[in-house]
Amino acid sequence: MKFYIKFILTSLLLTIVISCKSQQRPLVSDGAQLVQVANNFSFTEGPASDKNGNVYFTDQPNNKILKWNHADNSISTFMESSGRANGLYFDNDENLLAAADDENELWRIHKTGEIDTLITDFEGKKLNGPNDLWVDLKGGIYFTDPYYQREYWTRTEADIKEKNVYYISPDLKNISIVAKGLAQPNGIIGTLDGKTLYVADIGDKKTYSYSIQEDGSLSDRTLFTDMGSDGMTIDNKGNVYLTGAGVTIFNSQGEQLKNIPINENWTANVTFGGENQDVLFITAMGSVYTLQMNVHGVRY
């Protein structure tokens, strides 16, 4: 009997130890090194992974969308004259959505290359310049609309004075403001369960979390961390990745876990790619980087 009890206690202790070690597993794979895939661009942004793990990203000054093929680590041009696309995201039908900054529009790019312009204005006023976007479980689209004066614009001020977050209904028929009172909303990402949306206010150096309601509206704005961000992503553990001075990782409680330094003046955006969605793909200035991770991204 004593032996049996001792065996049970030993097994329980071993289970607890293994569990704790599992929880403490590093985010970055053992021995993984940051790899600069290429550095011949002007300013890289908006990475988005397709279902196969290839990552599409933008070179906005050169008006291009590029594609990183994870199988051979090569980069090719996906689209010339891309509407000065900034943020990208794949919808639930694997069409590529683009925040087309040239005319302040939101594009849907089909696999054939055909382009649908989804939105150009709100209540008759020209959008400030859609920046980043995220698609929910139902196919609704959230996007941030800050104002960054572009040298290729003829206008010199915004039609809409507020910098808002908008939601386009899944049927693409309705658009509404779902978050306001922000200085310069930029990065945006939602959780896999579709219940929480994170919005980075880079202008006020803060990131907020919101509860997503059944109709797509947002409630319960809560300060997540006193740090803004250009781009954002999230992993399968619920950790949130912010950019700027490298990539800074927070757990879902807003506690900082790690900073991944990038030897560039600015780190713009980040996502997960690769066959198993476990390669962190980073856009920074004129370069793109990859880093092998122990966690992986989330896609519907």
The pLDDT tens digits of the residues spanning 23-32 come to 568 999 999 9
Q: What is the pLDDT of residue 300?
A: 64
Q: What is the pLDDT of residue 153?
A: 87
**Is 17 within the bounds of a domain?**
no
Residue type, 57: F
What confidence tens digit (pLDDT) does each residue in 58-106 have? Answer: 999 999 999 999 999 999 999 999 999 999 999 999 999 999 999 999 9
- 61 CB-contact burial (10 Å; exposed 0-12 / middle 13-18 / buried 19+): middle
The mean pLDDT of 258-284, rounded to a whole number, is 98
Domain count, the chain: 1
Q: What is the pLDDT of residue 3?
A: 43
Question: What's the domain range around 105?
Answer: 28-292
**Is 103 within the bounds of a domain?**
yes
**Is 121 within the bounds of a domain?**
yes
| Whether pTM exceeds 0.85 | yes
Q: How many CA atoms lie within 13 A of 97 on its CB side?
A: 25
**Is 10 within the bounds of a domain?**
no
Q: What is the pLDDT of residue 112?
A: 87
**Is 206 within the bounds of a domain?**
yes
Torsion of CA 55, 61, 62, 66, to 10 degrees: 0
What confidence tens digit (pLDDT) does each residue in 220-233 have? Answer: 999 999 999 999 99
**Is 172 within the bounds of a domain?**
yes
* Cα separation, 248 vs 232, whole angstroms: 10
What confidence tens digit (pLDDT) does each residue in 111-160 have? Answer: 888 999 999 999 999 999 999 999 999 999 999 999 999 988 889 999 99
Q: Is the pLDDT of residue 13 over 60?
A: no
**Is 80 within the bounds of a domain?**
yes
Torsion of CA 156, 286, 26, 272, to 10 degrees: 70
Q: Determine what percent of the chain is predicted with pLDDT higher than 70.
A: 92
For residue 120, give the CATH number of its domain.
2.120.10.30
The mean pLDDT of 197-224, rounded to a whole number, is 98
Q: What is the pLDDT of residue 4?
A: 43
The mean pLDDT of 147-176, rounded to a whole number, is 94
**Is 13 within the bounds of a domain?**
no
Q: Is the pLDDT of residue 244 over 60?
A: yes
The edge-to-edge listing of strands for the beta sheet with 279-284 is 35-38, 287-292, 279-284, 269-273
